[in-house]
Chain A
Amino acid sequence: MLAFVARRLSQAVPLLLAVAGLTFLLIELAPGDPIVALAGEDGDAAYVAMMRERFGLDRPLGERFVVYMGRVLRGDLGFSYRLQQSAVTAVLGRLPATLLLIGPALLLSTAFGLVLGVLAARRPHSLTDTAVSTVSLLGHAVPVFWLAQLLLLVFAYRLEAFPVQGMRNVRLDAQGLAGALDVARHMVLPVTALTVQFLAPIARVARASLIDVLGQDYVRTAVAKGLQRRAVIGKHALRNALLPVVTVIGAQVGFMFSGAVLTETVFAWPGLGRLLLSAMLARDLAIVSSMFLLLTVAVVVSTLLVDLLYAALDPRIRYG
């Protein structure tokens, strides 16, 4: 098992380098100049030339690519002149805020997705099944920024049940338990937006997978033995039906980050999504490439975890 994990992780190294290189080229070849974000927009030609030279942007693309990759190989992901911070500090500083949204959203969408999937699969094509399918499809089809705005208007603006924006009330700046409760209140709407968005694919796959398993001979045997339907589903069918569901959940991690960009923007949540968006608009290579590397690591790790979970869920699967 350990050898498998080590091998998988070592395979990630060339992938990370490729992502770093691709990010560099994407940012460099896209129209837009980082100097504008660094120095404002009113300089004359001499000023722009001076700034380009200062930040090494006057060097040929190939030379800059080599320098950049050399730095990445040494573990140096660069300095954001815009934020006056090292890119790693900036990214890691924002990670906890995003995990506060993504973590609960992943757990909640998995839990609700499974429950809805089971409810729908118990009686395929029944009223419950149709309702679950419709609602989950609708939740998935609605753009997350629109859903976020809707939640804001209804629950924060009309009903005044939750705050409109931010991670904490800046006037109070509460600490300790009061601070934690304040953050929790601010989390409700953005976590709900993300949960609704990601619940649908989990519910859909859980339903399809469970219907498939429920049609297999060993389930029929269990029913024939006189087992309760709840026990058949809970003890026998669900575990086997979970394999595709786990795959979907693993695949969601990357999408969660993209959902976080929009959700964090609408709710003014100071997380990685906001950092990525502002860095892209400013052509801030150090931040963008660090973010993409972090996302790659997240996807690699989540896929690895999915593979390991496979082995735990299905004893026939062995890695060595």
Chain B
Amino acid sequence: MNHAPASRPRGLRRALLPLLAVALLGAPALANETPQRGGTLVIGIGQNPGHLNPAISTGSEVHAVADSLFSGLIRLDDQANPYPELARSWEVSADARTYTFHLRPGVRWHDGEPFTSADVAFTFEQVLLRYHARTRTGLEGRLERIDTPDELTVAFTFREPYAPFLQQLNVTEAPILPRHVYATVPDVQTAPENLTPVGTGPYRFVAYVVDDRVVLARNDDYFKPDLPYLDRLIFRVIPDANTRLLALERGEVDFIGGLPAGELARIDALPEVTLYTPNSGSGGGFCVMTMSFNLERERLADHRVRQAFAHAIDRQQVLEQVLFGHGRVATGPIHSQLAFAYSDDVRAYPHDPALAEALLDAAGLPRGADGTRFSTTFLHFPAFAKYGEVLRQNLARVGVRLELVALDRAAFITRVFEQRDFDTNVISYCNNADPAIGVARVYVSTNIGNIPFSNAAAYVNPEVDRLFAEAASQADVEARGRLYAEVQRLLVDELPYLWLVETQFSAAGRAEVRGLSPWSGSPAEAAWIAR
């Protein structure tokens, strides 16, 4: 079995963290090997990227490719800790309102122009704060101003302390665009430049054939010495997951993400392939499969009914039968790997069908003549059908008939968030690097309505709102941890949602490929091929 550092058995993960930081700065996966230069790496991706401007979209299909062309001010390791990228250092003011970044000198865009603080200010003011949905939502109203006292210094001042800012500055959240290219375009969203990107990233753009491939080449002028090692990086669009896997096994591609869960054990046993199971991947990180209860429906507004669901559903069975053991039973809304914020001091709901039946009886929902208490709809993406099957089986035992409704992504969003025509659903809510980014949005009362992947349950609790707001504006990590522990205790007590399992991302690469960072936007920055 081959495993890269980021996918060691979980018990080893903490012990390896200090080593990981070294590995991230460009060292290969195996410390005693010297990286070899040259070669072409082919990455199989599931979706065509569309355009290649990562600052105007949060779409994972855009970022899967474009993040290798651009850079952020900082980079995140697989535990979401920041380390320098375009910024070589930074400091935070005593009142935690101002973040000052000192940029690397001598960085050049792929077209040879120098990179300066003006690029950073332009990108935030003209692009990210307008068009990047997450950055706009996270910073708008909070950010007071951006100052550029000199070409290599940029300072962000907030109206009040804003703790998760550093986690929002990597290439996925805040890629920096070239001002000299975009300042003159009439419309950034439709600019032809979005198809011929100029970045500061490890690879430069060569060619893009829609629905087929994107070809990148080594950026010889990259600001990190010696990187990247590869000559060429090709992204090959292969929509079918099984075909992607066969292509990897046959060596037609070298690295793929999004493996079918049922295949993980087989892939792990293949000598020619290395399996990676990081917490983050293209599209998000630290994700929890979450069942939403529509609290606007009278039956589900009853706390006893939600508790009955929690006791009726065997989450261990979900872990074993849907994820084949790759993941962890969830205890609440925050992923256990987000160590500073996670708390397991919450109410437990052990699998207990008899207790579930008693709760349903108490709620005035007795079994009918056919043994059924009531029917309830369960909306899901086709890819999550197996969750529905296990849940339907579990709930049938206590007399609840779950009606599975499979919908494609666009239809699901309309039905759940716009029409609110559902009883329950399942969503992979990703915490991302900080609960203020990925968790609060699901529970705060200001985020209910026609907003994709917002507060689907329509849960309203002023105390929860207050705790999330306070945690986001605290600079002290321990104080934040205490606030998040309190919010977890409250939420798990009230159960507006049921947290099923924590999922892992899965990716696989050819064994001869070393130095991949599958949790990051640009997995091939330090990759090399052992010959």
Contacts and interface: CB of A to CB of B under 8 A. Distances in A.
B306 interface: no
A295 interface: no
Contacts of A42: 58, 133-134, 137, 441, 452-453
Interface stretch (B94-102, B246-254, B474-482): B246-254
B102 to A, nearest CB: 30
Interface stretch (A69-77, A130-138, A165-173, A216-224): A165-173
Contacts, number: 161
Interface residues of A, number: 54
Interface string A141-175: 00000000100110011001001111101110000
Contacts of B273: none
A165 B242 CA distance: 11
Interface in A45-70: 45, 47-48, 54
Contact of A163 (B137, B249, B252): B252
Given A31-B415, A83-B51, A167 B243 contact: no
A281 B234 contact: no
Contacts of A44: 133, 136-137, 447, 451
Interface size on B, as a range, is 35 or more
Contact of A84 (B42, B136, B192, B213): B192
A242 B142 CA distance: 74
Interface stretch (A3-11, A194-202, A250-258, A270-278): A270-278
A182 interface: no
B461 interface: no
Contacts of A47: 133, 136-137
Contact of B210 (A85, A149, A160): A85
Nearest to A30: B411
Contacts of B372: none
A81 B134 contact: no
Interface string B409-426: 111011100110000000
Given A41-B58, A47-B133, A164 B252 contact: yes
A40 B51 CA distance: 13
Contact of A45 (B58, B242, B451): B451
A157 B248 CA distance: 11
A42 to B, nearest CB: 4
B430 to A, nearest CB: 10
Contact of B408 (A41, A164, A281): A281
B411 A274 contact: no
B38 interface: no
B408 A32 contact: yes
A167 B451 contact: no
A268 interface: yes
Most buried by B among A40, A90, A283: A40
Nearest to B135: A42
Contacts of A234: none
A165 B238 contact: yes
B131 A39 contact: yes
Contacts of B408: 32, 281
B178 to A, nearest CB: 18
A242 to B, nearest CB: 37
B185 interface: no
A36 B409 contact: yes
B410 A281 contact: yes
Contact of B243 (A160, A170, A267, A274): A267
A265 B240 CA distance: 6
Nearest to B449: A45
A267 B137 CA distance: 39
Contacts of B450: 45, 48
A36 B413 contact: yes
A266 B210 contact: no
A265 B211 CA distance: 10
B64 interface: no
A140 interface: no
Interface of A: 30-34, 36-45, 47-48, 54, 79, 81-85, 90, 93-94, 149, 152-153, 156-157, 160, 163-167, 169-171, 265-268, 270-271, 274-275, 277-278, 281-283
14 contacts: A39-B133, A41-B133, A42-B134, A43-B136, A44-B451, A48-B451, A84-B195, A90-B210, A156-B250, A164-B247, A165-B246, A166-B252, A170-B236, A265-B239
